[in-house]
Amino acid sequence: MSRLLKILGIFAVFFCKSQQTYPLLTSVDSVPNMSHLKDTNNELQSFVGTYVSNYNGNQITFYITKESDQFFDYGNKQIYMDILYVRYTVKDSSSNILQTTQNMTFKSDKLNTIFSLWVTENGNKALLNYTGTNCSVGWGDIRLKKINSTQLSWEYRPDDIVTTASKCPPTLDTKIYLPETKDLIFTKQ
């Protein structure tokens, strides 16, 4: 039995050293490969919830969750990171669903995926990545700012909003359904 405990102890020491944990706001460049960037200060939790807003006749609902230990491969470095994952539903004025990701599971390179890159100011601001729709149309940055405990301000900055038939088949839907605006207020439900 003591031999088994020694083996388990050695394994635990090796495992802990090979997968080191750092606070969420630590730069990826400054951590060893296979590190974990953890939400040790609970900065993500204040964004978690269901939020609703209306824009240009559409109702947008966000389902924001905290996802722990998501794997990211940056080519020269692989890490695990706690993130905010934003699923959403966009409905028109007749309540027809224009686009939804509500039942999607997280994958950082999947179409229409929104996830946090960084949270700052003690969990009051978040920088998110949007992967875009078909052919990556609309990929870009989203900024969320806590107004108070029940409201978020939204800013979406798409980096690419058009495509050509040579880059993307015209049969694919490349419409961006997310609100391309700044200071849109979402209210927690």
Is 155 contained in some domain? yes
Domain total of the chain: 1
* Residues 84, 152 contacting (CB under 8 angstroms): no
Structural domain range at position 78: 40-188
What is the SS3 assignment for 18-65?
Answer: HCCEEECCCCHHHCCCCCEEECCCCCCHHHCEEEEEEECCEEEEEEEE
pLDDT digits (tens, 9 = 90+) for 16-69: 445 799 998 888 889 999 999 999 989 999 999 999 999 999 999 999 999 999
Q: Which residues of the chain have pLDDT under 70?
A: 1-18
Is 171 contained in some domain? yes
pTM of the model: 0.84
Is 5 contained in some domain? no
Residue with tokens 């706001």: 25
Is 80 contained in some domain? yes
Is 175 contained in some domain? yes
Is 117 contained in some domain? yes
Q: Which regions of 140-188 does DSSP assign to beta strands (E)?
A: 140-148, 151-158, 182-188
Is 169 contained in some domain? yes
What gap in Å lies between CA 59 and CA 85, rounded to an integer?
19
User: What pLDDT is recorded for position 168?
Assistant: 87
Which CATH number goes with the domain that contains 109? 2.40.128
Q: For the chain, report the end-to-end CA distance as a whole number of angstroms.
A: 54
Is 55 contained in some domain? yes
